[in-house]
Structure 1
Amino acid sequence: MKKYIIKRLLWSVVILFIVSFLLYILMRSLPTSYLEQIARQKSQQPGSKSFEEWMQQLEATYGMDKGIVPGFFAWLGKALRGDFGDSWKYTVPVTQKFKEVVGISFIMSFVVMVLEFAISVPLGIIAATKQYSWQDNVISIVALAGISLPTFFTASLLKLVFSVKLQWFDLGGLVGRNYDILSPSGKKMDIALHLILPILTLLIASIGAYMRYIRTNMLEVLNSDYIRTARAKGLSEGRVIYHHAFRNTLITLVTIWGTSLPGLFSGAMITEQLFSIPGIGYTSYQAMISGDIPFSMFYLVFIAVLTLIGNLLTDILYAVVDPRVRID
């Protein structure tokens, strides 16, 4: 096990280096350049230098006057020392801005993940054990609808019903108009109310796939020979399903858990944008479209690290859940 983990970690370092280099090339090749925007604004001021002169000065100031390869290794050297630079758009250190916005995204993603498993696991089991019944049909229709509906459509529909028609929630934002005059507990409640629609949007978009995964795997396990043997021995249906069948569907859940790790910290870029939630997804999107290379690089590399960690944990948990799996 130790040799396997060390081997995977070494390969992860190599993969991360390659991914980081490709991301740096991508960010340097973006059509939107923050420095060009600033240079254009400054060059339009009366008596100012030309656009080309401002570009040369800004590129030298921000370290963009180097080629892609020298520029990447300069960025990498600072990153290895924990210095990811200052955000061009937000004018604060990248890590500081990240800490300010990642919390709200983590809360949203964690609540969604808990609700996903709390709802999809029992419904997936019901759909599998009552195959072709009305319960299975209803669950399957709901799951397919959730998978098929685009996020922007679901968000727009929820806004129309609950914000425009019923006026239960604000259309967007993290806090209401009276936030500043509320008590500490009132402020927390206000933020929680503003997160309900974004959480519902994320839940509807993802829960359907999880229900289908669990249903499909449960059906495969329930048709296995050892399940027939367990029933032939006279074991209760509940013990057969939850003690024998469900335990063998855990590999599916392990895969989902592993792939969910990056999502806990990466935010929901589309949903946060639609509801104007200033989380890490919204902040990163604004940084990318404005050409903020330091913040965008930190965000994308951070997601790459979490993805590699999630994949490693998934492989290790396979061996824990399924004794037949051996890693070396």
Structure 2
Amino acid sequence: MLGYLFRRALLVIPTFIGITLMIFTLTRFVPGGPVERVLLSMQMQGSSEISGGSISVTEGNNALSAGQIAELNAFYGLDKPVFEAYVDWFGKLVTLNLGESTRYYEPVIDMISERLPVSLFYGVSTFLISYLISIPLGYAKALKHGSLLDASSSILIFVGYALPGYVIGVLLITLFGYQLEWFPMGGFVGDEFDDLAWFEQIKDILWHAILPLTCYLIGDFALLTMTMKNNLMENLASDYVRTAIAKGLPFRTAVRKHALRNSLIPVASHFGNSLMFFMTGSFLIEVIFNIDGIGLLGYEAIMERDYPVVMGIFAINAMMLMVGNILSDVCVALVDPRVKFGD
């Protein structure tokens, strides 16, 4: 297995370079960047000044000269060819230097670190709750196929699978936040969070988290539950399970020792892919609930053309996705005894 992991780790390098090169190139050619934002701001204000520099615009003259625009391009690092600029950015990236935001002029790594605990809270909670509920529920639905439990839960699962999380978020906020006022309209904590005792702070976090967690859970929960049920039913109809039962092995023992383990293989393959969700969450759900996590940060960066933040978040996503794929292979190997990694 160590040899396999080493080869997969080596493949991560060229893949990561290709993904980051594509992301960097796209951000350079997408219209509307920091220079355009400065020009637009100057035109709207009538008179502005670039702090720390000599670029200024006076009343009645909103256009910058070619030399001033060149200074702006140099200031934001847009004066170099794409590949040369990518090499400089990638060299900083491997040292965890993600650059500086062109909107807030703060280090990108600090901005991500500040919001990481919020996204981790929702990511880890979603992961644990979805797996702890969906696997037992899928197991019960397969054994009691066609029962009232199976039919009633299937309705909820199909509705949840059909509706995107952000649509459910709007419905939950409208009903439970605005009309009934049972839960807050958004945010991670309340305005008086710092003045509360630690136990009250935990209650405040959980109270704010109920509606967003419902939106986060609905998609993964539905997919994992149906995956578990369908694969378990398929394995229950297999010859090896029927043979084990024919030899005198009790039905539930045959399910636990034989069918269940094989049914967990597709679920295990999904395990590593959840790693990326730990960091970023959902852009739209965080926007709807005004949760100050990495998802909201990424959405605002895209809308404001804050390319260093966008590239930093996408680079982290790419790395987490590739590491998650390796973890998925390891999880499948642990569950499926037929899988052997050659050294």
Q: TM-score range by the shorter chain?
A: over 0.9
Secondary structure in 1 matching 2:290? coil
Q: 1:189 aligns with which of 192, 199, 203?
A: 203
Q: C-alpha distance in 2, partners of 1:229/1:308?
A: 40
Q: C-alpha distance in 1, partners of 2:179/2:154?
A: 29
The answer to whether residue 215 in structure 2 is matched with residue 201 in structure 1 is yes
Q: C-alpha distance in 1, partners of 2:151/2:69?
A: 62
- Provide the residue aligned with 1:39 in structure 2: 39
The answer to whether residue 111 in structure 2 is matched with residue 97 in structure 1 is yes
Secondary structure in 2 matching 1:207? helix
Moved more, 58-67 or 14-23: 58-67
- Provide the residue aligned with 2:149 in structure 1: 135
- Provide the residue aligned with 2:63 in structure 1: 50
Q: C-alpha distance in 1, partners of 2:216/2:289?
A: 12
Q: Partner letter of residue 105 of structure 2? A: T
Q: C-alpha distance in 1, partners of 2:220/2:101?
A: 32
Q: 1:213 aligns with which of 222, 227, 230?
A: 227
Is the 1:32–1:289 contact (alpha carbons within 8 Å) kept by the matching residues of 2?
no
Q: C-alpha distance in 1, partners of 2:22/2:125?
A: 33
Q: C-alpha distance in 2, partners of 1:29/1:185?
A: 50
Q: C-alpha distance in 2, partners of 1:125/1:81?
A: 46
Structure 2 unpaired stretches of 5+: 48-56
Deviations 1:204-261 (A, max 9, x none): 2321111111111101111111111221233233222222211111211211111111
Going from structure 1 to structure 2, the CA distance change for 1:61 and 1:167 (only over 3 Å counts) comes to: same
Q: Partner letter of residue 87 of structure 2? A: F
Is the 2:271–2:331 contact (alpha carbons within 8 Å) kept by the matching residues of 1?
no
Q: Partner letter of residue 302 of structure 1? A: I
Going from structure 1 to structure 2, the CA distance change for 1:29 and 1:126 (only over 3 Å counts) comes to: same
- Provide the residue aligned with 1:230 in structure 2: 244
Q: C-alpha distance in 1, partners of 2:262/2:20?
A: 37
Cα deviation for residue 165 of structure 1 reads 2.6
Q: Partner letter of residue 218 of structure 2? A: I
Going from structure 1 to structure 2, the CA distance change for 1:24 and 1:248 (only over 3 Å counts) comes to: same
The answer to whether residue 172 in structure 2 is matched with residue 158 in structure 1 is yes
Moved more, 185-194 or 311-320: 185-194
- Provide the residue aligned with 1:254 in structure 2: 268
Q: C-alpha distance in 2, partners of 1:17/1:78?
A: 13
The answer to whether residue 26 in structure 2 is matched with residue 19 in structure 1 is no
- Provide the residue aligned with 1:179 in structure 2: 193
Deviations 1:107-157 (A, max 9, x none): 111111111112111111122112223322222222111110122321122
Q: C-alpha distance in 2, partners of 1:327/1:180?
A: 51
Is the 2:142–2:230 contact (alpha carbons within 8 Å) kept by the matching residues of 1?
yes
Aligned-residue sequence identity (percent) comes to 31
- Provide the residue aligned with 2:7 in structure 1: 7
Cα deviation for residue 52 of structure 1 reads 5.0
The answer to whether residue 287 in structure 2 is matched with residue 273 in structure 1 is yes
Secondary structure in 2 matching 1:234? coil
Cα deviation for residue 316 of structure 1 reads 2.4
Query: What is the Cα-based RMSD across aligned positions, in Å?
Result: 1.8
Deviations 1:266-290 (A, max 9, x none): 2211110110000010011111211
Going from structure 1 to structure 2, the CA distance change for 1:52 and 1:249 (only over 3 Å counts) comes to: farther
Secondary structure in 1 matching 2:221? helix
Q: C-alpha distance in 2, partners of 1:243/1:55?
A: 70
Moved more, 37-46 or 158-167: 37-46
Q: Partner letter of residue 95 of structure 1? A: I
Q: C-alpha distance in 2, partners of 1:252/1:26?
A: 34
Is the 2:190–2:204 contact (alpha carbons within 8 Å) kept by the matching residues of 1?
yes
Q: C-alpha distance in 2, partners of 1:286/1:117?
A: 31
Cα deviation for residue 166 of structure 1 reads 2.1
- Provide the residue aligned with 2:81 in structure 1: 67
TM-score normalized with structure 2 length: 0.90
Is the 1:262–1:303 contact (alpha carbons within 8 Å) kept by the matching residues of 2?
yes
Going from structure 1 to structure 2, the CA distance change for 1:225 and 1:136 (only over 3 Å counts) comes to: same
Moved more, 130-139 or 6-15: 130-139
Cα deviation for residue 51 of structure 1 reads 3.5
Is the 2:101–2:107 contact (alpha carbons within 8 Å) kept by the matching residues of 1?
yes
Is the 1:261–1:310 contact (alpha carbons within 8 Å) kept by the matching residues of 2?
yes
Secondary structure in 1 matching 2:104? coil
Is the 1:32–1:291 contact (alpha carbons within 8 Å) kept by the matching residues of 2?
yes
Secondary structure in 2 matching 1:86? coil
Count of residue pairs the alignment pairs up: 328
TM-score normalized with structure 1 length: 0.94
